[in-house]
Amino acid sequence: MRIAVLSLQGAFEEHRQMLLRLGADPFFVRETADWKGRVDGLVLPGGESTAMVCQAQEGGLWQLLQERIAAGLPVFGTCAGMILLDRTHLNVMDIQARRNAYGRQLGSFRTVAPMKGLGEIPMTFIRAPYVEDYGDGVEVLAECGGRVVAVRQRNMLATAFHPELDGDPSVHRYFLQLASGRE
C-alpha cells in the first residue's frame, strides 16, 4: 500500500519507519508535485501544527490534502496531525482539538491505556492535544484520564499520542486495515 507521509516538519521519518516495518510503501510529500501515482492513504505526523499549516498553505498543498481527504482518502493524524484534521484546520473530521491541552513540556507523559479493538497499548503524549468536542459520526476509540485521545470517523483516524514513537505497531496496523477497507 502506498502511503503518503506529510514531511513539512516534525517526526515524519518515525512514521516512515513504522510503515516500512508493516510492509507498506511510504513516500514523503512536501509539495503538490510529490503527489504522484496511486495513493492509498495519508499520514499527518507530529510536530508543530502552526509550522505545518504555514508551509502547507503555500503552493496549493493545503487544498490538495483537503480535497483528497474529503473525497475519501484514508488518513491518520497523530498529535499535531490530529489538530490539522479538526474543524478549525483542514475541517475534514467533525472534531475540535484543544492544543497543548496538558500544558507545557513538564505536562508531557507516557502511559498504558486501552484502545478499542487493540487492548492495552503504550501512549506517549508530548505537549499533546485532546479532543474537546466531537460530532455524531465520530467514534471514540480511547480515553485517558477522562479525556478523548483517539477517534475514528469513517476511514479517518486521529490520536493525541504518538504510536510512531513507542515501537508498538498496532495502531499503524489498524490504520492500514482501515485504509484497505478491511476495518
Partner 1 sequence: MEDRVQLNRQLAQMLKGGVIMDVTTPEQAKIAEAAGACAVMALERIPADIRAAGGVSRMSDPAMIKGIQAAVSIPVMAKCRIGHFAEAQILEAIEIDYIDESEVLSPADDTYHIDKRRFRVPFVCGARDLGEALRRIAEGATMIRTKGEPGTGDVIQAVRHMRQMQREIHRIQSLGAEELPEAAKQLQSPLDLVQFVHDNGRLPVVNFAAGGVATPADAALMMQLGAEGVFVGSGIFKSGDPEKRARAIVRAVTHFDQPDELARLSEGLGEAMVGINEQEIQLLMAQRGI
178 — phi, psi (to 5°)? -60, -45
Q: Which is nearer to partner 1, 47 or 74 (CB)?
A: 47
**Measured from the CB of residue 174, what is the shortest distance to partner 1 in angstroms?**
22
| 79 among known catalytic residues | yes
Nearer to partner 1, 55 or 180 (CB): 55
Is 80 among the residues that bind partner 1 (CB under 8 A)? Answer: yes
Q: Around Cβ 57, how many Cβ atoms within 10 Å?
A: 11
Stretch of 112-120, 122-130, 131-139, 148-156 contacting partner 1, by CB under 8 A: 122-130
Listed in sequence order, the residues at least 6 apart from 182 whose beta carbon sits closer than 8 Å to its beta carbon are none
Element of type H or E holding 2: strand 2-6
- Which residues lie closer than 8 Å to 11 by C-beta, 6 or more apart? 45, 46, 47, 162, 164, 165
User: What is the enclosing helix (H) or strand (E) of 15?
Assistant: helix 12-21
Catalytic residue among 15, 79, 89, 172: 79
Of 15, 89, 162, 172, the catalytic one is 162
162 noted as active-site residue: yes
- Contact status: 47 vs partner 1 (CB under 8 A): yes
Contact 117, 174 (CB under 8 A): yes
- Does residue 36 touch partner 1 according to CB under 8 A? no
Which residues of the chain form contacts with partner 1 (CB under 8 A)? 7-14, 30-31, 46-48, 50-51, 54-55, 58, 79-80, 99-100, 103-106, 108-110, 124, 126-127, 162, 165
